[in-house]
Copies of this chain bind each other. A is one copy, B any other.
Amino acid sequence: MPRSATTTDAFSAIAEPRRREILSTLAESNTEHDVTWLVEQLGWPQPQVSKHLGVLRQVGLVRVTRDGRRRLYSINGKELRPVYDWVKSYERFWEHKLQRIKERAEQLERESQRNHAQAKPPKQ
């Protein structure tokens, strides 16, 4: 069995760096743009841009509007939500590290304070 299709879902679609690049290009300008504009911005051959747009379109990551012979593309962020929700559910696994560093620092702090207090333990 081959890899799951790039058009399966957002996870597969954004695995390709160039498709992320298309999304970021659209995101920066914050407006819809036609394919020619994207081709100029990216500097890639037009068919390559169209094909990647096709994948993004199929998974709903971009929306298209027709304007004469042009097609205006814009980001449809809604489809990124599942990716966001998924990865966010692992938040504790990278915050945990900070948490442990913090706890360790606090413990060292306590020990330090204890040691300073008993720097020269009173003879008894």
Q: Does A101 contact B (CB under 8 A)?
A: no
Q: State whether B23 touches A90 (Cβ < 8 A).
A: yes
User: A14-B11, A90-B27 known; A97 and B78 CB under 8 Å?
Assistant: yes
Q: Is A6 an interface residue (CB 8 A)?
A: yes
Given contacts A93-B75, A97-B78, contact A11 B4 (CB under 8 A): no
Residue A91 at the B interface, CB < 8 A?
yes
Q: Is A12 an interface residue (CB 8 A)?
A: yes
B4–A17 contact, CB under 8 A? yes
Given the complex, which residues of B lie within 8 Å of A96, measured CB to CB? 77
9 tightest A-B CB contacts, nearest first: A77-B93, A77-B94, A15-B15, A12-B15, A84-B87, A83-B87, A78-B94, A11-B15, A75-B93
